[in-house]
Every structure is written in C-alpha cells, then in structure tokens.
Amino acid sequence: MLRIETIQTDFLIVGGGTAGCYAAIVAARKDPKLRVQIVEKANIKRSGCLAAGVNAINAYITEGRTTQQYLEYARWDAEKIIRDDLVLSMAERFNESARDLERMGLVILKDANGNYVSRGKRNIKINGENIKPIISREVKKYDNISILNHVVVTNLLQDGDRVCGAVGFSTNYETAWVISARAVLVATGGAAGLYRPNNPGFSRHKMWYPPFNAGAGYALGIRVGAEMTSFEMRFVAQRIKDTIAPTGTIALGVGAREVNALGEAYAERYGLTTSGRARGATKETSEGRGPCYLKTVGLDSSREEDLYKAYLNMAPAQTLKWIESGERPSTHNVEIEGTEPYVVGGHTASGYWIDTARRTTVAGLYAAGDVAGGAPKKFVTGALAEGWIAAETVLKDLATYSPTSIARALELAKDKTNEYERRLRAPRGVYNARELEDAMQKVMDVYAGGISVGYRYNENQLAIADEKIGLIADLAEELSAADVDELVRVYELIDRATVCKTLLAHLRGRKETRWPGFGVFADYPEKDDAFECFVNTRNVNGKIQTIIRPLMEGVTYYEHTH
C-alpha cells in the first residue's frame, strides 16, 4: 500500500534550486514565525542548474553602468519581446544578491579597492564550483524553513480558483505527500529533454540544461489554467561539441572568435545576439562550411591551464576531454555546435505570465527563476532576485489566504494518490516511459524544428507534431511503473508532453521568424512588425487558447486585471 504523509505550511516552495532556496531565505529572514516548506525532487545540496557549478555571475550592474542599460541590452538580444517591469525589478537586485552570495561564502574576485572585478560589461568573476552547497547551507540556518528532499511534485491542489497546496511522491519510498499551504511558489526551473538531444545515445543526458528539470513547473501551471508567455522563444545554445560545455568562457575569457572550416570568421554576418550566434554555426554547417570552431590555436600555455581550471569548476567533462585526447586548445580549435531547443525562462522570455510582483494569473500561485517568463537574461542573480521579490509578495498577500485543512487537502489530492498507486501496481503495459520519451523527442525533432531539420518547421509539420504528441500523451495515461524511479520517469514524460503541446501552440501562434537561431518558421521566414507582441496561451478545459498581448515598452509596473 502507498503510504500517505501530510504537511501543513504557510508558504510552500516547489523546487529548491536557485530561486526557490533564495525565496525561502528571504521569507525566513523577514518573518521568523512564518512556516516555510521547500519540496525538492533531488537534494537541495546539489540540485538543479547549479549542480556542476557555474562559471561567472552573468548578470551584474558593473561600475558606471545602469539597470536601464541592462534592460536595453536584454531588449536588443530578445528582439523586443521582453517586459521592462520584470527586467528592471530584477536588475535592481542583481548586485545585492551577489553581495549576499559573497556573505554566504561564495568566492568573488575583487580588485585592490575591494570592488568586484568584471568580465566584460555585465559579468563578475567567481569560483562557482560550490555555489549550490553554499546556498543550501544558508537555507539550513533558518529554523522556520523545513526541507523535504527527494519528493517530486506532480500537481497543484486547487480549492475553487485558489491554489492551496500540492501533491507528489517520494523518489525513494512508496509514499505520497499531500501538502496544504496558504501560498505556493513554483521554482522548478525550465524544460530539457523535449527534443532529441545532441547526443542521443549512451550520453543522452550529456546536455546543457539539467535533464532532471523536465518542465514540471510549467506543466503544473498549465493544468490549473495559468497563462504562459513566449514558449516559442526557444533557447538554442551554442556549446562545445560533445560535452555541451559553455563557450562563453573561451570567447569572453581568451577572446577566441568563431570560425568555419575554411578559417573564416563568420559571426558578424549573423548578428551578435544570442540567436544570431546560434544561427551562425548552423548556417555555416548547412551550407557546407562546417564544422565551426572557436579559434584557440596559438593560445599560450599558462592561459590554457586557467581554462582547464575554469572548466573543472563548472563543466569538468571538457577538461577531461582536452587532457585525455591530447587535443589541447592551444593546438586544436574547439569545435562548437547548437544544442537541441530548450524552454528556459532564465535565458529567453518563456514561462509564466506574471505581474511585477511575480504573481501568476492563478490566485495563490507565484513563479520565479527559469520557470517565470518575460525576463530573459536572468541567470543566477536574476533567479535570486525573482525569488526575493516573490517572497516579499507572498508575505504581503498571505493575510488574504486562509489555511486549507489537511482533510480537505487529502480529498483534493485523492485522484492523484490513487493514480500513483494504480501505476505502481499495474502490470507493465506495452510501452514504458523511456520508449514514449524517445517517441516524443523524435516527433519534436523532426516536426517541430529540432537539430536534424536545422531548427526549421512549417504549418504542416506543426500540425502533425500536435497530433502525434497528443497520441503520446494519451499513451502516457496507461503507463505503469515497476518502482518509484520509474514512476518519476512517467511523470516527467507527462510533464514534458504537456509542455510540448503548449510549445506547439506558441510556435503556431507567432507567424514570423524573429529569432532565426532559435527556429525558422519556413512559411514566414522573415521578421514581421505585426508580431511585436507577446504570444500567450492558456489552457481552458483542455483546449489551448492563444492570447495576443501588446508589448509594454516603458511600463515599469504591471498588475493582472484578469
């Protein structure tokens, strides 16, 4: 029999990553009596994007620069699809968030005057290898924060219109968890694994974004009818071939340029936005001038050693590759490629449609970090800033939410807890979660602009993809699980299919090509001013509605009107 455990809390945080942990810290500091509950699928010590370590603080207002300049940079990079209020409110908190990280123990490089040393216009230099253990240590200092590790949330509980808790299950035991809360913050990160990845074989999880961030947070919101924005602004990253390690460290750090196989520098031809850079390598290769490289040959050996160390601090596979192959950056240019598309609101604008205070369109539900939309170029400090803002809003709103009894929460969760039990007991069906995941990734790759088709799609293909993903989602309803590990995979598949469905509606909604490096809508291959707007969606009784909203340039405060 599946055991059922219950928790009653004030503030529930789903996902103990960067944004979730910081929201807990801020809430606990401001109100020591508040009960804060983090529920995390792995262990907050090394979960999510920060697990391997990070390279730099990518979002910082360096000496002499302003938050407005950061906004204009983000607007240029996103080809205008951006919310001023969201970017400015996070940018105002970048520097204080970084200082707080330093107080917690993060090593940040300083000059003789004690100022942080910048890398380019917006970055500061750190040793980010242990950034997640540092943040989780801080979380543990507060007695009013409870941490439930190794529990995966599958659904929100909703009483009438208001979100009042969540339900999930342990990844180690046959135990369901039903949590009643007065307010819920979703901070589960973005979605990887929607498309067939660069390395589809044995190393299929050697991808840039954490393969364990399966888009749960988006799916949670989609199910309760939360409005989503800009999923069509998929993120295709330019990364080092095979290890999918970041390229910025080489490009910014040692000034290496992108060159094609003929040795020609091509980047300027495609524009220097993130999308433009991703476009460059794809186009050069498809036109027969591949592969593409970062030109590192000639680098002196002392700098080579520093590169090895920098990669060990965030992407150790790359240093291992350099050393064991003997193909060092000073003697061999570093081959690059574009990744499969991700949906990730920390880099692009995809995610929940939130107000300035980080409220979603559903009462009682808040969003922060990669799961929240409208504010690209968020990175670590932006995720912290959003967690901070959301926590402050929750503290303000909490008085308006009365607690839901455990008995009521159990009743609301009953269908789900029964479903877990059913899947664990049912005999294996024809397919398992892994097989359906392969099917889903293939459909998305071929019909919805994945790597194999050069990120191109057309109306016909999107319609086919939609039908096929629908079939896979139906098959997923029948999936059983041999153990709790497989049960996790079943719900990841269901979440990913839900995200894919919404993504397809967004791709179909934006009938133009705005970010050619992220995707080309072959029927509408040019940018169209008529699409200087947000493409949003909402799930209404199982049907996805598309909502077009105007850009709000210059608007620094926004509240939902419903």
Partner 1 sequence: MSILIESERCVGCGSCVEACPGNLIKRDADGKAFLKAPDECWGCASCLKECRFQAISYYLGADIGGRGGLMKYERDGDLARWIIRRAGRETVTITVDRRSSNKY
Ligand X SMILES: Cc1cc2nc3c(=O)[nH]c(=O)nc-3n(C[C@H](O)[C@H](O)[C@H](O)COP(=O)(O)OP(=O)(O)OC[C@H]3O[C@@H](n4cnc5c(N)ncnc54)[C@H](O)[C@@H]3O)c2cc1C
Site for partner 1 in 30-49 (CB under 8 A): 41-43, 45-48
Q: Does 374 bind ligand X (CB under 6 A)?
A: no
From the list partner 1, ligand X, none, partner contacted by residue 126 (C-beta under 5 to 8 A by kind) = partner 1
Kindly state the smallest distance separating residue 142's Cβ from ligand X, in Å: 18
Of residues 70 through 89, those in contact with ligand X by CB under 6 A are none
b/e 35-68 (16+ beta carbons within 10 angstroms → b):
bbbbbbbbebbebbbbebbbbbbbbbbbeeeebe
Give me 401's structure tokens: 């939410």
In this structure, are residues 187 and 153 in contact, taking their beta carbons and an 8 Å threshold?
no
Footprint of partner 1 on 190-219 (CB under 8 A): 199, 201-207, 210-212
Give the residue with the Cβ less far from partner 1, 311 or 457: 311
Element (H, E) at 510: none
Are 273 and 77 within 8 A, CB to CB? yes
Question: Quick check: 66 binds partner 1 (CB under 8 A)?
Answer: no
Binding track over 470-489 against partner 1, x by CB under 8 A: ---------------x--x-
Q: Which two tokens stand for residue 384?
A: 């912290």
Interatomic CA distance for residues 321 and 58, integer angstroms: 25
**547 belongs to the binding site for partner 1 (CB under 8 A):** no
Least separation, in Å, of the C-beta of 122 and partner 1?
A: 15
Taking the complex as a whole, the smallest distance from the CB of residue 253 to partner 1 amounts, in Å, to: 2
Choose among ligand X, partner 1, none what residue 37 binds, the Cβ cut-off being 5 to 8 Å by kind: none
Among 11, 181, 189, 343, binds ligand X (CB under 6 A): 189
Q: Is 348 helix (H, G, I), strand (E, B) or coil?
A: coil
Number of residues that bind ligand X (CB under 6 A): 40
H-assigned helices in 119-205:
131-139
User: Taking the mean position of all CA atoms in its chain, how far away is CA 162?
Assistant: 25
The residue among 20, 48, 50 whose CA lies nearest residue 36 is 20
Residues in the chain: 562
Q: Which two tokens stand for residue 99?
A: 């200082």
Nearer CB in complex with partner 1: 302/402: 302
For residue 171, how many other CB atoms are within 10 A of its CB?
A: 16
Judge whether 256 and 397 are in contact, CB under 8 Å: no
Task: Work out the angle at residue 238's Cα, subtended by the Cα atoms of residues 234 and 239, and round it to the nearest 5 degrees.
Answer: 125
Structure token digits, residue 409 = 């929460």
Retrieve residue 24's tokens: 């807990």
By CB under 6 A, name the one of 58, 144, 275, 417 that touches ligand X. 58
- Residue closer to partner 1 (CB basis): 270 or 308: 308
The two structure tokens encoding residue 347: 């880099």
Contact characters 13-52, ligand X, x per CB under 6 A: -xxxxxxx------------------xxxx----xxxx--
Choose, by CB under 6 A, the member of 62, 136, 149, 213 that binds ligand X: 213
By CB under 8 A, name the binding residues for partner 1: 41-43, 45-48, 51-52, 55-56, 107-109, 117, 119, 125-130, 149-150, 171-172, 199, 201-207, 210-212, 242-243, 249-250, 252-254, 303, 305-310, 312-313, 316-317, 319-321, 323-325, 485, 488
